[in-house]
Amino acid sequence: MADKKHKLLEVKGLTMDFGGLRAVDSVSLEVHEGEIAALIGPNGAGKTTFFNCVTGIYNPTKGDILLHPKGLETRRLNGLKPNKVTEMGLARTFQNIRLFQDMTVLENVMIGRHCRTKSGIFRSIIRDKGVREEEQQIVETCYQLLEKVGLGDSANEFAKNLPYGAQRRLEIARAMATDPFLLLLDEPAAGMNPQETADLDHLICRISEEEKIAILLIEHDMKLVMNISNPIYVMEYGKKIAEGSPQEIKDNPKVIEAYLGEETED
Amino acid sequence: MLRDFKQSLLISAWFVFLTFPLMAVRVNTTDQVVTWRLMNMVWVAIGSFVLSYAWRFMLERKKVRKKTAEEGADTRSKLQIKLEDMSFRYKAMGGLLIVALVYPLVVNTYQTNIMISALIYVVLGLGLNITVGLAGLLDLGFVAFFGVGAYTFALLNHHFDLGFWMTLPLGGVFGCLLGVILGFPILRLRGDYLAIVTLGFGMIFKVVMENWDSLSFGPSGIANIDKPGLFGMDMNLAQSTTYIYYIMIALVVFTILITNRLKNSRIGRAWIALREDEIACVAMGIDMARTKLSAYALGAFWAGMVGVLFASKTTFINPASFTFMESAIILSIVVLGGMGSILGVILGAFILILMPEYLRDLSEYRMLAFGAAMALMMIFRPQGLVSGLRQKYEYKGTKDQVNNG
Ligand SMILES: Nc1ncnc2c1ncn2[C@@H]1O[C@H](COP(=O)(O)OP(=O)(O)O)[C@@H](O)[C@H]1O
Ligand SMILES: [Mg+2]
């Protein structure tokens, strides 16, 4: 194992029950440094629930979520509040876009800087030099992030006025503003047209390479992730049914069945 | 257009028919005569026609505006565009300040007093605007903080002879403390539950003050509270009213300055994010408990401060001044003015407090008009009078351009 890349996230036997429904059933998964890992599976497989457990929105019924930040001690994320998880360097986007609609595009990203800055109430009122400099720093960082995702020109527009694809990219920029080392993207391509999807794939690869952020990606569509992610994990009915490289997944009979099964149902 | 016209005609005919027995026929049973007041019917017809047509026209306009908004066109009103121009804004503010300063010198004491009441509500509205407008936390018991400020001054003045200026910040601090105390148990609540608990909290305050005789002197209240002093000078009623007016103006300006700074700070952004989407907000690393508590505490601070001034102005307080009605009015000010907008809240306070004062003849229908106005607002301008102004930042020019309302 020593020659392998550094392990960032390690989830062991994660289980999440909603009353009688077991939405996630002892799923284990790892994300290493520099990876773009993918979690795929049919609708209702439990992918989003898995994300919600890892990011602290739900407290999992069973299992361990361990974060190994580089050069820092390992932390167990179970039961931590979402903001603590984010502070530790794990950021996310949402499947059903959750932007701050009545704030400007730039302000949305600025919210991401909140946990990395520290002006309190009194200093915000006095607005001393330190606070002004910090604000300026926030604005600059966020502008650069917006330019990276191609939204530099819309900085002062309201988030609600952005087209759909741009809203998804804004969510990514906002998550990146929290300085994560691991980014969880929940169906970032949902509802995008083929051109937007291609741009998005490009963006994700760039984030991974240039920013050195590892990525765990949920995608409903199997074909789409095949060319950017490795490894791929497949879930169905809450269970992990396969994992491996794109080629292995493509040839896995269980995966084929899961997807074909779904198509005949539709 | 023609369809609207026809519809309105129909409605007016229908109204004439409905109100005919009531408005047109008068039977005088003693003289056994029937008077026909046909002129009344004409008025009903014209009135209902005009109202109905205006109603339709407004709805139509709203639809058109929504459409242009969906097409991404500029939907800002002329006023809004003007307001985003900084030099215009400074000029307007300077002008208003001059008018405000001259005001008590040209009107009588009665008018000044009314204006002081309105300004008290401006500060209350700006305080609640932090909790409700910015952070999106409903608070139906806001008057309790106002009451705490008032009682703080009344009691300290009564027992320890503390003066107005000493107690003014203390009132704010006590309001703040109570805000935190209220904030803790309701951190997890949302929507309807939040409404009920805060409503109860406001009620509890009043009941406690009514019954805890040894502390608050019960329903009979506390009298002979000192007016604000000015280097121990003796002032007659008119002078002291003018003096309080100027204190109030200073307090309003102070409130505007500080809430405006907070609004465009790291803390203010967190409040707005909390209002917009709680889950996304915590997922972006914002501590929800701390943000909510600070929103309650800072909202309550202003209510506590202005409560001190209220006690000092009236020189007499009792629990009857702190009813749910007051909370409802303050909340209406924020909603009418536009959630989160400072200018909106100021406008809202003036409209809701001054209108009833000057329309005393209509005082019987006051609540009716109030309700109607609110319902109309919800239909035609749910976002409030002023809305949608946000700070804009300029990156390339290293200096940020402040632009907000
Ligand atoms: N908060 C919840 N309460 C109850 N059931 C839930 C909740 N969230 C998700 N589920 C259920 O868990 C299952 C998995 O959902 P989800 O994780 O959203 O699937 P996916 O993201 O893979 O499409 C679904 O059957 C869904 O109905
Ligand atoms: Mg999902």
Residues B104 and B29 in one domain: no
Q: What is the pLDDT of residues A68-115, one digit of tens each?
A: 998 889 999 999 999 999 999 999 999 999 999 999 999 999 999 999
Question: Are the beta carbons of A161 and B395 separated by less than 8 Å?
Answer: no
Chain B residues inside the 8 Å CB shell of A91: 283-284
Residues B56 and B92 in one domain: no
Residue numbers of A between 92 and 111 with CB closer than 8 Å to B: 92, 94, 98-104, 106-107, 110-111
Percent of chain B residues topping a pLDDT of 90:
47
- In our burial notation (b when 16+ CB lie closer than 10 A, e otherwise), range A162-173 reads beebbbbbbbbb
Per the structure, the complete domain to which residue B52 belongs is given by: 2-68
Taking the Cβ of residue A82 and every Cβ of chain B, the question of whether any pair is shorter than 8 Å is answered with yes
> Which of A83, A91, A139 lies closest to B282 in CB terms?
A83
* Residue B77 confidence (pLDDT): 64
Which stretch of B35-49, B72-86, B275-289 has the lowest confidence by average pLDDT? Answer: B72-86
Q: How many domains, in total, are found in chain B? A: 2
Out of A21, A53, A61, A92, give the residue to mutate to test ligand 1, the one with the largest number of ligand atoms within 8 Å of its CB: A21
CB B215 within 8 A of CB B337: no
Judged by phi (left if over 0) then psi (alpha if -120 to 50, else beta), residue A8 lies in alpha
Ligand 2: centre distance to CA B295 (Å): 33
Residue at which a domain ends, from B68, B96, B113 = B68
Taking the Cβ of residue A135 and every Cβ of chain B, the question of whether any pair is shorter than 8 Å is answered with yes
CB A185 within 8 A of CB A217: yes
Q: What is the pLDDT of residues B330-388, one digit of tens each?
A: 999 998 888 888 999 999 999 888 887 777 776 677 777 777 877 888 787 777 877 75
Residues B108 and B51 in one domain: no
Residues B117 and B41 in one domain: no
Assign B78 to helix, strand or coil: helix
Residues B202 and B56 in one domain: no
> Is residue B201 assigned to a domain?
yes
Ligand 1: centre distance to CA A238 (Å): 9
In CATH terms, A2-89+180-260 corresponds, of 3.40.50.300, 2.60.40.420, 3.30.9.80, 3.40.50.1220, to 3.40.50.300
Prediction pTM value: 0.87
> Is residue B243 assigned to a domain?
yes
Euclidean distance between CA atoms B25 and B233, whole angstroms: 66
Residues B113 and B163 in one domain: yes
Asked if pLDDT for residue B70 goes beyond 70, the answer is: no
Ligand 1: centre distance to CA A143 (Å): 35
Average pLDDT value over all residues in chain B:
86
Residues B63 and B96 in one domain: no
Domain ranges of chain A: 2-89+180-260, 105-176
Q: What is the pLDDT of residues A30-81, one digit of tens each?
A: 999 999 999 999 889 999 999 999 999 999 999 999 999 988 899 999 999 9
Where residue B136 sits, what CATH number does that domain have?
Answer: 1.10.3470
Question: Are the beta carbons of B283 and A55 separated by less than 8 Å?
Answer: yes
Ligand 1 atom closest to A49 (CA): 17
* Residue B73 confidence (pLDDT): 58
* Residue B357 confidence (pLDDT): 79
> Is residue B233 assigned to a domain?
yes
Ligand 1 atom closest to A95 (CA): 21
CA angle B76, B79, B85 (to 5 degrees): 90
Residue nearest atom 21 of ligand 1, based on CA coordinates: A48
* Residue B72 confidence (pLDDT): 59
Residues B139 and B265 in one domain: yes
Out of A15, A18, A25, A93, give the residue to mutate to test ligand 1, the one with the largest number of ligand atoms within 8 Å of its CB: A18
Ligand 1: centre distance to CA A46 (Å): 6
Ligand 1 atom closest to A16 (CA): 12
